[in-house]
């Protein structure tokens, strides 16, 4: 949750502490890029410069699930040897440049690569040259070199956010929506919910790189889809009148403090949404429900479209 948020939205300055919980503000902006590494048997495939193009938040089986579509600036994992290694103590090797004239891009000091069955710890890299601590590998031109998979320390997983612990407020503006989402009595009863946030990444190949030269966001988009029982004509009227609304979603988790005064919380605020689809599905033996799709727009009064906060147990320096 932490990294996904920070890749599609921009995380501001984290406040709080381990006792009271950390609060991370989220706004529309350039989120960070990250490096992903996937273990594939004996080697690792590393993707770097990874950004989220689209983040989906849904609740299958009533539990929050995030699905991210990502794009990367490059990858490294398997390489080929460009100059034979005849054994003896050496500290450098040359990579083949058939695929890329900069085949070492993505490797860093401290990585371990394997050639001729020997582990080599990288000290520096540049273009086709890889320097490492002294070793005695023997290998022929074209032999494979691979990035050794790292040992993974699994974090302690926290309980997910549940649909049943969501408080959803709808109002004429953000203030009204947030007020409605503050208590269970005023929150709307929502039977299903999905959120999609899009960065619409610009990915372009060009000079200097075989992989994309840069990956940058374009105009952002966000949609909210929800279902609620058809109990009055208000939403149909707002759909026909194309009225402005606001939605605030509070996902509540476990309590952090022993005195039950602070709990895990993901709050997302959509300051100006327009109801672009309002279907009433009719099925025999079933209640009629509003199945609604909202598009997030920029709100001139509040000066924003989407904002949020995440309260959890992890310091902002960790991601």
Burial state string for 88-123 with b = 16 or more CB within 10 A and e = fewer than 16: eeeeebbbbeeebebbbbbbeeebebbbbeeebebe
pLDDT, residue 101, reads 86
- pLDDT tens-digit profile of 84-98? 998 788 999 999 988
- Between CA 179 and CA 107 the distance in angstroms is 50
At 168, list the tokens: 């959803």
At 74, list the tokens: 């490059």
- If one compares 279 and 168, the residue with the highest pLDDT of the two is 168
Query: What does pLDDT average to over the chain?
Result: 88
Q: Which of 30-44, 106-120, 190-204, 238-252 has the least mean pLDDT?
A: 238-252
- pLDDT tens-digit profile of 298-308? 999 999 999 99
Handedness of CA 134, 136, 140, 143 (dihedral sign): negative
pTM to 2 decimal places: 0.84
- pLDDT tens-digit profile of 104-130? 999 999 999 999 999 999 999 999 999
Classify burial at 188, counting beta carbons within 10 Å of its beta carbon; exposed 0-12, middle 13-18, buried 19 or more. middle
- Between CA 296 and CA 195 the distance in angstroms is 11
Percentage of the chain lying above the pLDDT 90 cut:
55
Classify burial at 208, counting beta carbons within 10 Å of its beta carbon; exposed 0-12, middle 13-18, buried 19 or more. exposed
| Residue 234 φ/ψ, nearest 5 degrees | -60, -45
């Amino acid at each position: 949750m932490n990294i996904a948020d920070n890749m599609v939205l921009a995380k501001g300055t984290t406040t709080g502490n381990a006792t009271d919980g950390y609060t991370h503000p989220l706004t529309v902006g350039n989120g960070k890029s990250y490096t992903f590494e996937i273990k594939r048997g004996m080697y690792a495939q590393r993707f770097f410069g990874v950004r989220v193009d689209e983040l989906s938040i849904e609740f299958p089986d009533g539990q929050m699930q995030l699905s991210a579509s990502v794009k990367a600036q490059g990858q490294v994992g398997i390489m080929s040897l460009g100059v034979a290694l005849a054994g003896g103590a050496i500290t450098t090797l040359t990579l083949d440049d058939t695929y890329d004239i900069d085949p070492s891009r993505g490797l860093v000091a401290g990585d371990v690569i394997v050639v001729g069955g020997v582990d080599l710890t990288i000290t520096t890299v540049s273009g086709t040259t890889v320097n490492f601590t002294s070793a005695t590998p023997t290998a022929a031109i074209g032999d494979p070199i691979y990035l050794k998979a790292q040992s993974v320390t699994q974090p302690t997983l926290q309980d997910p956010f549940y649909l049943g612990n969501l408080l959803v407020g709808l109002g004429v503006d953000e203030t009204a929506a947030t007020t409605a989402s503050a208590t269970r009595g005023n929150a709307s009863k929502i039977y299903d919910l999905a959120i999609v946030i899009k960065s619409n990444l610009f990915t372009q190949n060009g000079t200097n790189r075989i992989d994309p030269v840069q990956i940058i966001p374009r105009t952002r988009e966000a949609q909210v889809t929800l279902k609620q029982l058809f109990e009055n004509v208000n939403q149909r009227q707002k759909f026909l009148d194309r009225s402005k609304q606001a939605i605030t979603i509070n996902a509540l988790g476990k309590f952090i403090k022993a005195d039950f005064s602070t709990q895990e919380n993901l709050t997302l605020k959509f300051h100006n949404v327009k109801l672009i689809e309002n279907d009433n599905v009719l099925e025999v033996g079933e209640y009629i429900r509003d199945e609604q799709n909202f598009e997030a727009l920029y709100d001139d009064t509040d000066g924003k479209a989407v904002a949020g906060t995440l309260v959890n147990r992890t310091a902002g320096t960790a991601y």
